[in-house]
Structure 1
Amino acid sequence: MTSVASVLERRFITLEDVRKVLSISNSQAYALVRSGDLRAIQIGGRCQWRIEAAELEAYIQRSYFEPCPDS
């Protein structure tokens, strides 16, 4: 099992890693990327999403100051 700390030591992480760090579902992680709220790149022949760990941290910091849409 991969710890959150070891995940964030890598430059690029997967949507599964994002899901684990934020404790959200796969569909929620995918929605963050597709909406542009969490910047990501697609790589490889299957165009798999990768998120720079710094982008995830920036998203987390922005989230402290932005209210949820339904609040």
Structure 2
Amino acid sequence: MVHHAAGEPIGRFLTIADTAEVLAVDVETVHELVLSGELPAIRIGDRGPWRVERSQLEVFIEMRYESTRREVAWNEGEFGNVIEFAGVRPGGLRPVD
């Protein structure tokens, strides 16, 4: 379980500050991710604080890993091994030209 710096466990919903701590970024970065819709969050009340669900944060992190993997593969010229880049359809068949 993730814990605050003070040692107490973090619950289901994280504050923007908690989320920034988990991601090791500043609060402004998390706020921008939330406002852009890239990091799903809910607002408590009409003008209340934002909260990020831990499961959504984990999905966001996994998506970032996948994005990085694809970027590295593309930059290294290994995109021929990546199905999405190689034009391989499910089942392993290449489209006929």
TM-score, with structure 2 as normaliser: 0.60
Q: State the AA in 2 paired with 1:15.
A: I
**For the pair shown, which has the larger CA radius of gyration, 1 or 2?**
2
More strand by share: 1
| 1:13-68 per-position Cα deviation (integer Å, ceiling 9, x unaligned) | 10000000000011101011011111000003642100110000000000001147
Q: How does 1:43-54 map to 2 (within 5 A)?
A: 43-44=44-45, 46-54=47-55
SS of equivalent residue, structure 2 residue 34: helix
Which consecutive unaligned segments of at least 5 residues does structure 1 have? none
Q: Which has the higher contact order (CA 8 A, sep 6+)?
A: 1
TM-score, with structure 1 as normaliser: 0.79
Which consecutive unaligned segments of at least 5 residues does structure 2 have? 76-97
| Identity of matched residues, % | 34
CA RMSD of aligned residues (A): 2.5
Give me the whole-angstrom Cα distance separating, in 2, the residues matched to 1:54 and 1:5: 19
Name the residue aligned to 2:4. Answer: 2
